[in-house]
Chains A and B, each alone.
Chain A
Amino acid sequence: MQSTKTREGTEGGAGRASRAVIEARDLTKVYGRGENTVEALAGVSLAVEAGEWVSLIGPSGSGKSTLMNLLGLLDRPTGGSYNLGGREVSGLRGGELSRARRDLVGFVFQSYNLLPGETALANVELPMVYADVGRKERRRRATEALERVGLSGRLKHKPTELSGGQMQRVAIARALVNGPSLLLADEPTGNLDSKTSEEIMSLFGELHDSGVTIMVVTHEAEVAERGDRTIEIRDGRIFGDEGRSPGRDVENGGRR
């Protein structure tokens, strides 16, 4: 019944604003084996500071999802190094990797990826089950997170009983509930109409204002404009990096 982890989703450590959340160097990803290999990422170096909102844009197939998956620890890079929240994570495996994923990142998918049989509340509680948070504490924090995304009236609803926008809100609440250093979203509004997209992006805005570091993949210009920095990727390389916070020197930022 102990609840060791009680920190809130948005509370960060002191001095977080000056610290790099993401520090990636020369990340590569090659899919497949033998003759049918695809080099999805051809060496990406990138630094993102705490509190930044980065929009990741680029044509279809350029490697945006591949990069996000690597940054979200959902996949392992073929080469390169990755420091997440001050911790070298590119060499992690097994349980350590799972725990880093659990504690450091929140991931929002285009297709929501909620467990269809579970209620909104149970879906949001899930990351805390794996973080070994007690039942009452889970309930409290999940309820709070759902209130924060404007779903206090939908706690007991199952995904099939929710609209696309509502499902994405549940997914966002779930991504935040373990208090990650970083919120990653791969085309979070890709399945939503423009009005709902607008609402979701407003929610991201609120989260950003409260200090959450955000990285969003998008096709839509309006969505990209909301961020304070836009990184463009083409053919697995960073092609442009606009509005990045000053004083931060990222080596191959504009290399081509």
Chain B
Amino acid sequence: MKILRIIAMGLRGLLGKPLRTALSALGIVIGVASVVALTSLGNGIRDSVSGQITDLGPNIVTVSPGSESADGGGAIDAEMVSTLTPQDTRNVAALPSVKAASSNAATGAFVDGKGVQLSGVDPSYDEVRKVELASGRFVEGGGEIVLSHADAEKLFGGKPEGAVGKTLPVGGSARNVPEGLPPEQAQDSRQERPVREYEVVGVVASQPEGGLVQAASAVSYVTTADALELSGSETVGQILVAATGAGAVGEAKAGIASEIRAAHGGQEDFTVETQEELLSTFSQITDQLNVFLAGIAGISLLVGGIGIMNIMLVSVAERTREIGVRKALGATDGDVLLQFLFEAVLLATLGGLAGVALGVGSSVLLPVLISDLPAAAFATTQIALAFGVSALIGVLFGVVPAYRSARLAPVEALRRE
């Protein structure tokens, strides 16, 4: 079989000149590797941003005390006169459009004699707003506390790992310890409530600096009932609700409003807010990021493609004389084409595979070396596209000019240097 003889000869030629073979494949290796790395790292950034958004809870609806219409959205200073109760939370949680709901009763407390900000929440809080734990589990019952990473460090001398399973004395003050108050001053506040032993059941994971959820991770958690006991209050500061999905947010909002209005005797002494505004901002960001990424992928594919084109064109031009020699010795156009096709396909395939390996490898390695870079996310279609387009360009620009040279009369090809 002449075809096999020519292929065997081409293979020997490639193996016999490993440096030239490697250099020809280099264009494809770099082209594929850069596309794979750029898109995978870009995907990682996008996933990290949207992941942080998801951490915040894009389906969240918040219920705050005070009427929006009464004092122009001053939900925060209405906190003092909150009429929201744990029962309201339970009612809301029962709505079909609601996945989970949790009270949030903020209070200050003394833990082991040190002032700490506590959030009294329901066990379902974890479903509403995901809390990443470094160890242990989330609060499930009374007498349990989940420490923020900072608090755990403060209370356990920089060794938060050992906190889980330990017990701590926790006592409330009549007033909330204002945020930012130095512990010495806070210590002066009268302790009116009895001190109880709490078991540390979990420690919140430390958040990367500058992360969107960092602020939320600064508090320690106890149950709503414990927080109310510590603060001596009967109402909660906020109800956090997760709708069953992004499409159910509107329905949830209406349902929550009518449920609480009914429970409060028709009074509109609360405000229900969706995170639509936040969502729209975020989806704008991710949309822009997606367009940006597609652009990067396109440009790297173009640049990689031009590189491949260049190397293949140069290597075929260098070999026009070789083509002339082969034709002078009796090779047909088809014989020459077959040889170059085989070589180009082999180079493109091996180069493409090496490029995928290099691209995947560097996208795994870079986030490890650069701590601010989120982990890469790999999309098979993008990798396949990078491989396919590069290989196609490689084969095309390896074969088409070779075929043009092959169609020359042998003397013409031999004249080229």
Chain A residues in the interface with B (C-beta under 8 A): 69, 72, 74-76, 94-95, 98-99, 101-103, 107, 109, 113-115, 117-118, 122, 126-127, 129-132, 135, 174, 178
Partner-contacting stretch, out of B72-80, B186-194, B319-327, B356-364: B319-327
Nearest-CB residue, chain A, relative to B20? A117
Q: How many A-B residue pairs have CB under 8 A?
A: 72
How distant is B262 from chain A, measured CB to nearest CB, in Å? 89
Please state if A117 and B13 are interface contacts (CB–CB under 8 Å). Answer: yes
Roughly how many angstroms separate A127 CA and B409 CA in the complex, as a whole number? 17
List 14 additional A-B contacts (Cβ < 8 Å) besides A101-B328, A127-B329, A130-B326: A74-B410, A74-B411, A75-B409, A95-B334, A98-B330, A98-B335, A99-B332, A101-B330, A101-B410, A113-B321, A113-B324, A113-B414, A129-B6, A132-B5
Roughly how many angstroms separate A126 CA and B414 CA in the complex, as a whole number? 17
Q: Which residues of A contact B9 (CB under 8 A)?
A: 129
How distant is A114 from chain B, measured CB to nearest CB, in Å? 8
Please state if A94 and B333 are interface contacts (CB–CB under 8 Å). Answer: yes
Interface size on B, as a range, is 20 to 34
Nearest-CB residue, chain A, relative to B321? A113
How distant is A32 from chain B, measured CB to nearest CB, in Å? 13
Q: Which of A107, A109, A117, A122 contacts B17 (CB 8 A)?
A: A117
Q: Which of A76, A117, A130 contacts B329 (CB 8 A)?
A: A130
Q: Which residues of B contact A122 (CB under 8 A)?
A: 12
5 cross-chain CB contacts under 8 A: A101-B328, A117-B17, A127-B329, A129-B6, A132-B5
Roughly how many angstroms separate A72 CA and B329 CA in the complex, as a whole number? 10
How distant is B317 from chain A, measured CB to nearest CB, in Å? 16
How distant is A53 from chain B, measured CB to nearest CB, in Å? 22
Please state if B330 and A102 are interface contacts (CB–CB under 8 Å). Answer: yes
A69-B411, A74-B411, A129-B5 as given contacts; A98 in contact with B325, CB under 8 Å: no
Q: Which residues of B contact A103 (CB under 8 A)?
A: 330
Nearest-CB residue, chain B, relative to A174? B329
A117-B13, A129-B6, A132-B5 as given contacts; A98 in contact with B411, CB under 8 Å: no
Q: Which residues of A contact B13 (CB under 8 A)?
A: 117-118
Chain B residues in the interface with A (C-beta under 8 A): 1-2, 5-6, 9, 12-13, 16-17, 321-322, 324-335, 409-412, 414
Roughly how many angstroms separate A53 CA and B330 CA in the complex, as a whole number? 24
Q: Which residues of B contact A118 (CB under 8 A)?
A: 13, 16
Nearest-CB residue, chain A, relative to B334? A95
Please state if B328 and A130 are interface contacts (CB–CB under 8 Å). Answer: no
Q: Which residues of B contact A69 (CB under 8 A)?
A: 411
Q: Which residues of B contact A115 (CB under 8 A)?
A: 322, 325
Please state if B5 and A102 are interface contacts (CB–CB under 8 Å). Answer: no
Q: Which residues of A contact B326 (CB under 8 A)?
A: 126, 130
Please state if A99 and B409 are interface contacts (CB–CB under 8 Å). Answer: no
Roughly how many angstroms separate A98 CA and B331 CA in the complex, as a whole number? 6
Roughly how many angstroms separate A238 CA and B5 CA in the complex, as a whole number? 43
A117-B13, A117-B16 as given contacts; A126 in contact with B329, CB under 8 Å: yes
A113-B325, A117-B17 as given contacts; A130 in contact with B330, CB under 8 Å: yes
Sorted nearest first, the 7 A-B pairs with minimum C-beta distance are A102-B330, A98-B332, A132-B2, A74-B410, A127-B329, A130-B330, A75-B411
A95-B332, A95-B334, A130-B335 as given contacts; A76 in contact with B409, CB under 8 Å: yes
Please state if A98 and B327 are interface contacts (CB–CB under 8 Å). Answer: yes
A74-B410, A132-B2 as given contacts; A127 in contact with B322, CB under 8 Å: no
